[in-house]
Amino acid sequence: AQRVTQPEKLLSVFKGAPVELKCNYSYSGSPELFWYVQYSRQRLQLLLRHISRESIKGFTADLNKGETSFHLKKPFAQEEDSAMYYCALRPGNTPLVFGKGTRLSVIA
Amino acid sequence: EPEVTQTPSHQVTQMGQEVILRCVPISNHLYFYWYRQILGQKVEFLVSFYNNEISEKSEIFDDQFSVERPDGSNFTLKIRSTKLEDSAMYFCASTQGDQPQHFGDGTRLSIL
């Protein structure tokens, strides 16, 4: 079965500290993986997709097929990064399977 | 940048009543989705729609639910007889196909 696991419900870091939001997935085929972000009272927005390999707002994520992980990283957290972050898997051309989300709180 | 729009932003309904949630997907998109998020839980897939028919649905999407594309722009989710456990945020999303899904702001449904 396809599954996305985000082990941390809440992650608090100080401003300027490095951030790593963990995501592990379970899927036997070649997955497509995404990170979506939801700022307070706003819609889900695409942050990253693994095939584009770009850096958005300083965030990067590398797909590690051996560890079935797609952790989201940023070297220096900013206060405006505080939000809910969802890792999502799209197995083939099908609907997204979401993780439970991690709330990132950046403390000044 | 074009957006997915959803109305209303908040709907309060008595248990047992019918409710219709509306979405206007991005105009050149072909695939449409409904997801829901119960408070404190993850976003869950409900149904996908392509070429004027349901292409996939989850176990949650039982006979109480239906979707329609009544005209060229709207995409609606109807819940025939609401239950308390239907209270959730409902998100509409659309995509051209191979591209990431774009989400609306969501409708908060509260069943009393």
Write out pLDDT tens, residues B40-99. Answer: 888 999 999 998 899 999 999 999 999 999 887 899 999 999 999 999 999 999 998 778
Model pLDDT for residues A73-105, shown as the tens digit of each residue: 999 999 999 999 999 998 766 788 999 999 999
Q: Taking CA atoms, what residue in B is nearest to A103?
A: B40
From chain A, the residues in CB contact with B93 under 8 A are 96
DSSP chain A: --EEE---SEEEEETTS-EEE--EEE-SS--EEEEEEE-TTS--EEEEETTT---BTTBEE--BTTTTB--EEESS--GGG-EEEEEEEE-SSS--EE---EEEEEE-
Model pLDDT for residues B2-11, shown as the tens digit of each residue: 789 999 999 9
Which residue among A34, A43, A101 sits closest to B100, beta carbon to beta carbon? A34
From chain A, the residues in CB contact with B41 under 8 A are 100
Q: Taking CA atoms, what residue in A is nearest to B5?
A: A43
Q: Do B43 and A44 touch (CB under 8 A)?
A: yes
CA distance B24 to chain A (A): 15
CB pairs under 8 A between A and B: 44
Q: Considering only CB atoms, which residues of chain A are within 8 Å of chain B?
A: 34, 36, 42-46, 49, 86, 93-101
d(CA A45, CA A52): 16
Model pLDDT for residues A2-41, shown as the tens digit of each residue: 899 999 999 999 999 999 999 999 988 778 899 999 988 7
Q: Do B105 and A43 touch (CB under 8 A)?
A: yes
Model pLDDT for residues A35-86, shown as the tens digit of each residue: 999 988 788 899 998 877 777 889 999 889 899 999 999 999 999 999 999 9
Q: What pLDDT does B42 receive?
A: 85
Q: What pLDDT does A93 receive?
A: 66
